[in-house]
Chain A
């Protein structure tokens, strides 16, 4: 694992769920999920369509609340906290389908996120451009993602692959401790997907990452641990080697993916 806990020190994991359950009417989308993720982890969530992967991300991000069970961040119960409050605690997500500020420039998109994180956003009487710290931090982020050439362009003028990078830039602008990536390369033409994959590879080591993706090459290369969800419940969990060798997983998922 990415972190080593000194012997004798009991340390809570970065994120933990206890018997997390969410049902929509008769459908149980998340079923008794016990899950843990350490600081700096590289963790992948896989499973067939409808396995409840995005629902689990939504529960972790606070976009929906669980029917029962708990979510803990560093040992603190945050089940009752909403989306915005969890962002302040460092739980940040990206979306499977872009949720960007389409009429604004790339720089403004990132500015909005960075201004929230740096506490500049409530300020009313000072011009946004005078907060040089926010502008510079936003530009620095765009540079690390090699987006600075597009900084002045509107989102609606960008190719989809570049838009996916902005999605990531907004998330990184919030200084996450835990980053939830919901299919970061979804919808990106394969010729451009390496840009996204490079960016994910270069994420700071300190950030714990939970990624959903259907690209098994990406998952097995990137993740140090994999959790397989089936029917909303944890079906298997382990290192990529263990998961790859697990005959049950192959039967329910990997074989299926290889066929399709």
Chain B
């Protein structure tokens, strides 16, 4: 029975496709070819990781959120405060703590706000983030308030590799490795039966209880895992830059990551990669060409994507690919 094309498609969909190593080869090639741009490259990799965490909740479970920076910031401040106040500065364990704190904030807030839907949910995610941002602003003694914490004394990786802010070779490879591990985890998750049930929740949340699925529990687990990954992204950002500020918890960051995911294509794993690279490369170059009005160009691009390609750049690519192969056959 598994010989049926649909059954074998389902049985094989998690297999690694031929092109899947390409992004990682490109990332390593970038390291060799553009040593002067590793700072920019590190920023892109962190953004991909953050967008990937958002893809899990938004693209797979269909949870619409505008407050995902809450977990990014929670992770960043965990690393920042522990290092600055002399409690802990070992990078790997610090990153694990950032993930745990991010996940804890996700679980705590998720248990309350995931009971709601639509606009209410959107507003509650926004409020959670605004509350954390204000708390970070007020807790000056610990968080540095508006100025944040800088010159974080992050210990060398494995006791050997220094995080040098001017030559961020260690940062780049470290972030790339963490991104790879997290990506493998998310990829495994979305192709699992659990991931399939998340897509069921996304496609028809009202039907899921009628198939016996504990929807609130599934959503809470998904939200917690995603928040944990966002916490890791924030933590690694703080380690790589050796500072943390209120911007890590801001609406600007939350909106940008949402734009990146929509631009690249949500619910597709690689949308985070394509979106982050497209957005950051574009804003990098546009801001050089038109220093005053570069955001206009980005805005226009987004309008075009929103109007003509609901599934982002990857969705557009898939559509073209399907048309061509249909025309060929």
A99-B206 contact given A84-B215, A111-B10, A116-B212, CB 8 Å threshold: yes
**A117 to B197 Cα, complex, angstroms:** 12
In the bound complex, residues from chain A placing their C-beta under 8 Å from that of B193 are 115, 120-123, 126, 128, 131, 134
Total residues of chain B contacting the partner, CB 8 A: 35
Interface flag for A151 (CB, 8 Å): yes
In the bound complex, residues from chain B placing their C-beta under 8 Å from that of A105 are 6, 10
- A124: contacting residue among B6, B12, B192, B215, CB under 8 A: B192
In the bound complex, residues from chain B placing their C-beta under 8 Å from that of A129 are 10-14, 191
- A112: contacting residue among B11, B192, B211, CB under 8 A: B211
Distance (whole angstroms) from the CB of A104 to the closest CB of chain B: 6
A100 touches B207 (CB 8 A): yes
For the side of the interface on A, what is the size category? 35 or more
Distance (whole angstroms) from the CB of B319 to the closest CB of chain A: 14
- A104: contacting residue among B2, B195, B203, CB under 8 A: B203
A123 touches B194 (CB 8 A): yes
A84 touches B209 (CB 8 A): yes
Interface flag for A7 (CB, 8 Å): no
B207 touches A101 (CB 8 A): yes
**A108 to B4 Cα, complex, angstroms:** 14
A126 touches B11 (CB 8 A): no
B189 touches A124 (CB 8 A): yes
Q: Is the interface of B mostly helix, strand, loop or mixed?
A: helix
Interface flag for A72 (CB, 8 Å): no
B11 touches A113 (CB 8 A): no
Chain B 8-45 interface mask (CB, 8 Å, partner A; 1/0): 01111110000000000000000000000000000000
B203 touches A139 (CB 8 A): no
A104 touches B199 (CB 8 A): yes
Minimum-distance CB pairs A-B, first 3: A87-B212, A151-B6, A129-B11
Q: A105-B10, A128-B191, A129-B191 are in contact. List 12 more A-B contacts (CB 8 A).
A: A87-B210, A99-B207, A107-B10, A113-B211, A123-B192, A124-B189, A124-B194, A126-B193, A139-B4, A148-B6, A152-B5, A152-B6
What is the interface of chain A, defined by CB distance below 8 A to chain B? 61, 63, 82-84, 87-88, 92-93, 95, 99-108, 111-113, 115-117, 120-132, 134-136, 138-140, 143, 148, 151-152, 170, 173-174
